[in-house]
Amino acid sequence: MESKIKIANNSYWVGYVDDRKVLFHRLILEKGTTYNSYLLDTEKPTIIDTVDIEFGRIFVENLSNMMDLSKLEYVIINHVEPDHAGGLPALMAKAKNAKIVTTALGAEELKKMFKLHNREYVIIHDGMTLDIGGKTLQFFETPFLHTEETMVTYCIEDQILYPCDQFSTHIANYELFNDLAKEDITEDFKVYYQLIMHPHRPYVQDMIKKIRKLDIKMIAPSHGYVLRENVEKYINAYDDMSRAKEGKKVAILFSTMTGNTTKVAKLMAEALENKNIVTRIINVDNADVDAVVEVIKESDGVFFGSSTRYADMVGNLETILKQLKDLDLSGKFAVAFGSYGWSGEAIEVINDYLKDTNLTVIDRSYIVKTTGMDDIQVPIRVKFKPEEESQTLGRTVQAIGDILVG
Task: Output the smallest distance, CB 222 to ligand FEO, in A.
Answer: 6
Task: Output the smallest distance, CB 81 to ligand FEO, in A.
Answer: 4
Task: Output the smallest distance, CB 134 to ligand FEO, in A.
Answer: 29
Beta strands per DSSP E along 151-275 = 151-155, 160-162, 218-219, 249-255
Cβ contacts of 58 within 8 Å, gap of 6 or more: 16
Nearer to ligand FEO, 77 or 272 (CB): 77
Counts of helices then strands in the chain (DSSP H, E): 13, 22
Nearer to ligand FEO, 44 or 200 (CB): 200
| Residue 383: exposure state from Cβ atoms within 10 A (0-12, 13-18, ≥19) | exposed
Nearer to ligand FEO, 24 or 177 (CB): 24
CA dist., res. 101 & res. 77, Å (int): 6
Q: How far is CA 269 from the centre of its chain?
A: 25
CA dist., res. 399 & res. 380, Å (int): 12
Nearer to ligand FEO, 53 or 253 (CB): 53
CA dist., res. 212 & res. 236, Å (int): 10
Task: Output the smallest distance, CB 335 to ligand FEO, in A.
Answer: 28
CA dist., res. 247 & res. 127, Å (int): 35
Contact 62, 17 (CB under 8 A): no
Residues making contact with ligand FEO (CB under 6 A)? 79, 81, 83-84, 146, 165, 223
Task: Output the smallest distance, CB 196 to ligand FEO, in A.
Answer: 7
Look up residue 357 and give its amino acid. T
Helix residue spans in 115-247 (DSSP H): 186-192, 201-211, 231-242
Q: Which residue is nearest to ligand FEO (CB)?
A: 81
Angle between helix axes 345-355 and 317-324 (nearest 10 degrees) is 20
Task: Output the smallest distance, CB 221 to ligand FEO, in A.
Answer: 9
Nearer to ligand FEO, 71 or 112 (CB): 112
Nearer to ligand FEO, 195 or 293 (CB): 195
Task: Output the smallest distance, CB 79 to ligand FEO, in A.
Answer: 6
Nearer to ligand FEO, 223 or 248 (CB): 223
Distances in Å between the alpha carbon of 113 and those of 91, 139, 370? 15, 23, 24
Cβ contacts of 61 within 8 Å, gap of 6 or more: none
Task: Output the smallest distance, CB 13 to ligand FEO, in A.
Answer: 16
Nearer to ligand FEO, 73 or 165 (CB): 165
The SS3 call for residue 177 is strand
Q: How far is CA 224 from the centre of its chain?
A: 19
Task: Output the smallest distance, CB 146 to ligand FEO, in A.
Answer: 6
Nearer to ligand FEO, 194 or 276 (CB): 194
